Amino acid sequence: MGDREDLFQSFHFFAASEDLDVFEGALLVASLVDPAEDLPAARAAVASLASRVRELMAGGDHPIEALCQVLFTEEGMRGNQESYDEPANSSVARVLATRRGMPITLSIVTVEVARQAGLQLSGIGLPGHFIVGGEELPDETYLDPFDGGVLRDRESVSRRVSTVFGTPLSLPEEIFAPDTERAILARLLSNLRRSWERRERYPEALEALRWAEMLDPEEVSYRRERGLLLLKSGRTAEALAALESYVGAVEGEDADAVRKLIGVVKERGLTSGGAELVVVESAEKKIFTLEEARSLLPKVKELTSEAVFKFARLSEGEETEEERQGVVGEWAREILALGAEIKGLWLVDFDSGAGYYCWRYPETSLEYFHGYEEGFAGRLPLQ
């Protein structure tokens, strides 16, 4: 499957099916990561693992114990902590070859091996994490492939997810429902897209988005995603068309944020991937490339991360509103004290002197905010 267009057509045919096979879809995504990937070898590896699980079960082992013995004890599958964000971690074929991956790919492999061994398990997408559930497991108990197949109750899962965001979270019961096949594959493609985007591999990121659109052609948010990627790719006219199509189809705060972004692009005529730095107490203005603008980002990232976590730790209620404003005010003063307001498309768009047009929506957010999953409640929710 060396030809990208042939691969696209294969996934198009796959996505049109009513009943999707998650593992087969994930194998196609593995070919998107590396067109030279050996898919028959990956299928054979899963069949071999499932056969070993069945042998242990035939010898009297509990099904889940047999599964965990093969995958996590004997094979040593676990999360790739060393290079978590590598595009290869979105490939189930690479997971089978290296025994390392991200939560979703490890979970897909676990569920498929279990299925071929006669067990019924399912993938469960959580904020910032992915686990496995099913009737084969004890009530309200879940398997965490990323952490070496450890079994967790809901409280333990909540604690694990809390470590991702750096703030205590209590996950509601409904969040533990199994994901649909399309949702799992869409999330897999989203992870891959963001990994490529962070490496400024925009053509590949756009291709991953194109695949996601095939899974759900009616998903309006993909228009916004496409517009932002096209902006970074330097295709401004196409980007504006995609973003304007998006704001024409939705209402609310997100539409307002994107509408503002469109205005910034048109009004300032910023170069693709650029940012406008305005020196405080000076009329001097200069358009910088994104690469040049990044000279300030390490300090801005540090200050912003600290502010977000302070904000997230505050309790809910009107009595904390003054504290919330204090956190944001302190953050704004520290940013301005660096000597520049950072204005632009995916850096920060500061409004006048107040300086708090913030990033409620990660797709319109700062470049350095990509590490947080969409829906993270700790993001500073101000305009």
Give the span between the Cα atoms of 38 and 126, in whole angstroms: 30
Query: Read out DSSP for 319-341?
Result: GGHHHHHHHHHHHHHHHHTTTEE
Q: What is the pLDDT of residue 307?
A: 66
* Closest by CA position to 137, among listed 65, 193, 209, 69: 65
In the structure, what pLDDT confidence band is assigned to residue 308 with cuts at 50, 70 and 90?
A: low
**What b/e sequence results for 367-376 when a residue is b if at least 16 CB atoms lie within 10 Å of its CB, and e otherwise?**
bbbbebbeeb
Lowest-pLDDT range of 19-23, 154-158, 202-206, 285-289: 285-289
The torsion of the CA quartet 52, 56, 62, 67, rounded to 10 degrees, works out to -20
Report percent pLDDT > 70 for the chain.
Answer: 68
Q: What is the pLDDT of residue 242?
A: 94
| pLDDT > 80? residue 297 | no
* Closest by CA position to 101, among listed 64, 75, 126, 69: 75
Q: Which residue has the higher pLDDT, 80 or 343?
A: 80
Give the span between the Cα atoms of 18 and 254, in whole angstroms: 31
In the structure, what pLDDT confidence band is assigned to residue 60 with cuts at 50, 70 and 90?
A: very high
Q: What is the pTM of this model?
A: 0.74
Q: Which residue has the higher pLDDT, 21 or 376?
A: 21
Q: At what angle do helices 202-215 and 4-15 cross, to 10 degrees?
A: 20
Give the span between the Cα atoms of 85 and 192, in whole angstroms: 9
In the structure, what pLDDT confidence band is assigned to residue 11 with cuts at 50, 70 and 90?
A: very high
What does the pLDDT average to over 285-289? 44
Q: Which residue has the higher pLDDT, 326 or 108?
A: 108
Q: Which residue has the higher pLDDT, 343 or 134?
A: 134
Query: Read out DSSP for 2-28?
Result: --HHHHHHHHHHHHTSSS--HHHHHHH
pLDDT 10s digits, 181-204:
999 999 999 999 999 988 889 999
Q: Are 114 and 106 in contact (CB under 8 A)?
A: no
Q: Which residue has the higher pLDDT, 382 or 48?
A: 48
Report percent pLDDT > 90 for the chain.
Answer: 51
What does the pLDDT average to over 29-36? 96
For the chain, the average pLDDT equals 78
Residue 100's DSSP bridge partners are 78
Give the span between the Cα atoms of 32 and 6, in whole angstroms: 11
In the structure, what pLDDT confidence band is assigned to residue 91 with cuts at 50, 70 and 90?
A: very high
| pLDDT > 70? residue 170 | yes
Given strand 122-126, what is the order of strands in its sheet?
Answer: 122-126, 129-133, 141-144, 150-153
What does the pLDDT average to over 111-128? 96
User: 274 to each of 24, 257, 267, 287, how far by Cα in Å?
Assistant: 40, 18, 14, 7
pLDDT 10s digits, 239-275:
899 999 999 998 877 777 778 777 767 765 544 444 4
Q: What is the pLDDT of residue 321?
A: 64
Half-sphere exposure of 265 (CA within 13 A, CB side): 26
Joined together, the tokens standing for residue 53 give: 């699980």
Query: Rounded to 5, what percent of the chain is helix, strand, coil?
Result: 60, 10, 30
Q: What is the pLDDT of residue 331?
A: 65
Lowest-pLDDT range of 18-32, 192-206, 337-351: 337-351
